[in-house]
């Protein structure tokens, strides 16, 4: 049974723990990490003999490390997991498009090393089809993300740019490329980074983010124009019960990945 380190004990981390405890996936939780001591204490009441990591590189005895925290964590531990041939599943995929050094490292990984870096699909999907379409070249790739009005009420980007949120109709929050989207929305638009790495790249993949007071779901719409056809993928995700910025599907995509490599 593989030994697992969990970095970040919010909704996604807790969902992974639930999946292991209910035997949906088979892992031994070896180590946990969070900056919130209360989150650690909560997990310790459920897991006996789990080691609390006091620094981010303390996963020396683990086979798999999952990151469910923030982009800076990915930047800090990337080299360490590669050196030790540890499977690494990051949820903060935006780090791979916003951090120049990390972006270049990832792009230049050889096949032997790259197999240890597993990028989950997160709150979107269809990557088998998208990879097939890309074989003949992609003309345009656009991600349109809509989230409920209240998700953006205290958003730093909205406040900084004095964006007025209309309570009655949709408001365009952001238009730009995937790199800038991941930079401005580091916790809530990792899907843009994931899509860009699989398609036209961080500069050419276009992103639109909208506030929509008429919806309760997080809706991601992917539009692709290519030599072989025009494609539209739509994902209407229920938000997680504890964090409306995060789609429930994101946690499940991580669990699905863990299942694939558990043996």
Tell me: the pLDDT tens digits for 94-135?
999 999 999 999 999 988 888 999 999 999 999 999 999 999
Name the binding residues. 123, 190
Name, in order, each residue with C-beta under 8 angstroms of 169's C-beta and a sequence gap of 6 or more: 213, 214
pTM over 0.75: yes
Give percent helix, percent strand, percent coil of the chain, each to the nearest 5: 35, 25, 40
d(CA 87, CA 99): 21
pLDDT at 85: 93
Domains in the chain, CATH or no CATH each: 3-122+249-260 (3.40.50.720), 127-240 (3.30.360.10)
Are residues 233 and 124 in contact, defined by beta-carbon separation less than 8 angstroms? Answer: yes
Name the binding residues for NAD(+). 123, 190
pLDDT at 110: 86
Q: Is 128 helix (H, G, I), strand (E, B) or coil?
A: helix
pLDDT at 234: 99
DSSP assignment letter at 47: S
Integer distance in angstroms from the first to the last C-alpha of the chain?
A: 7
pLDDT at 263: 84
Closest CA to 210 of 184, 158, 171, 263: 171
pLDDT at 229: 98
Q: Which helix (H) or strand (E) holds 15?
A: helix 11-21
pLDDT at 242: 86
183 to each of 84, 85, 143, 148, how far by Cα in Å? 29, 28, 16, 21
Reading the block at residue 116, the tokens are: 């240890």
Q: How much of the chain exceeds pLDDT 70, in percent?
A: 100
pLDDT at 166: 93
pLDDT at 41: 95
For the chain (263 residues), the mean pLDDT of every run of 10, in chain order, is 97 97 97 97 92 92 97 96 95 96 92 91 96 97 97 95 95 98 94 97 98 97 98 97 89 96 90
Q: Is 19 helix (H, G, I), strand (E, B) or coil?
A: helix
Name, in order, each residue with C-beta under 8 angstroms of 249's C-beta and a sequence gap of 6 or more: 122, 123, 235, 237
The catalytic site residues sit at: 220
pLDDT at 236: 98
CA–CA–CA angle 176, 181, 187 (5° rounding) = 160
């Amino acid at each position: 049974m593989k030994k697992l380190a969990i970095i970040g004990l919010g909704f996604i981390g807790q969902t992974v723990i639930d999946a292991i405890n209910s035997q949906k996936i088979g892992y031994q939780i070896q180590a946990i990490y969070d900056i919130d001591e209360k989150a650690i204490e909560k997990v310790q009441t459920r897991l006996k003999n789990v080691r609390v990591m006091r620094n981010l590189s303390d996963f020396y005895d683990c086979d798999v490390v999952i990151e469910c925290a923030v982009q800076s964590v990915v930047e800090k531990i990337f080299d360490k997991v590669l050196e030790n041939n540890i499977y690494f599943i990051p949820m903060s995929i935006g780090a791979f498009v916003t951090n120049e050094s990390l972006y270049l490292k990832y792009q230049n990984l050889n096949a032997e090393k790259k197999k240890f870096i597993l990028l989950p699909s997160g709150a979107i999907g269809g990557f088998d089809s998208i990879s097939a379409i890309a074989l003949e070249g992609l003309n345009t790739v656009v991600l349109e993300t809509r989230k409920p009005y209240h998700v953006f009420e205290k958003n730093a980007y909205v406040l900084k740019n004095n964006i007025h949120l209309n309570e009655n109709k949709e408001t365009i929050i952001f238009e730009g490329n995937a790199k800038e989207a991941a930079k401005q929305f580091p916790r809530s638009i990792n899907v843009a980074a994931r899509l860009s790495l699989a398609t036209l790249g961080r500069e050419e993949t276009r992103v639109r983010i909208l506030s929509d007071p008429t919806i309760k779901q997080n809706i991601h719409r992917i539009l692709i124009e290519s030599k072989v056809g025009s494609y539209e993928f739509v994902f209407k995700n229920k938000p997680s019960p504890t964090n409306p910025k995060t789609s429930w599907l994101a946690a499940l995509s991580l669990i699905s990945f863990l299942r694939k490599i558990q043996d």
